[in-house]
Amino acid sequence: MIILNVAIILFVLMESANVFILYFAPDSKLGNGVAVFNPWFQSKDEESRELFAKYMVNWVAGTKLIFIVLLLVILFTAGETTKLFAVFAMIFSIATYYFRLNPIIKRLDEMDEINPKGYSKTLFHMITGFILMFSLAAVIYFFIK
């Protein structure tokens, strides 16, 4: 069960840093900072577009925070079975990136709307890394059990 805890803790730490960046430094290019998107700066040209962009960034941060807090509750209060199913739920929910978000960010990258160029590939690899981490934790869990 320790391996499941480690995977959950690593994800919580990484996503907590992303939430912090989104809430307090959205102009950053670190983590999930939105400064990699050229339209982020273009949205500041008009107040309503800027407010919408800020709303969406904070909405994403809030959604990530929900995941983090739920994972912490699971980490500290749940048994083995719940943690295992939480790992499977994370694999599934993270994998949805490939169907909706990845095509959009790839297209933005092709349109030179992302700086640095190729960031869509970096994000693809990071998302794949999360899925591999949770999958590996589940596989190791089954071998150790």
Q: Give CA–CA dist 11/6, Å, rounded.
A: 9
Structure tokens belonging to residue 125: 């690899």
Q: Give CA–CA dist 43/75, Å, rounded.
A: 39
**Helix 47-77 and helix 80-95: axis angle, to 10°?**
150
Structure tokens belonging to residue 18: 């992303």
3-class SS at 114? strand
* Global pTM value: 0.88
* pLDDT, mean over the chain: 94
In the chain, the N- to C-terminal Cα span, in Å, equals 8
pLDDT of residue 145: 76
* Dihedral sign from CA coordinates of 73, 78, 84, 88: negative
What are 99-129's pLDDT values in tens digits?
Answer: 999 999 999 999 999 999 999 999 999 999 9
Residues belonging to the chain? 145
pLDDT of residue 42: 87
What are 35-72's pLDDT values in tens digits?
Answer: 999 898 888 888 998 999 999 999 999 999 999 999 99
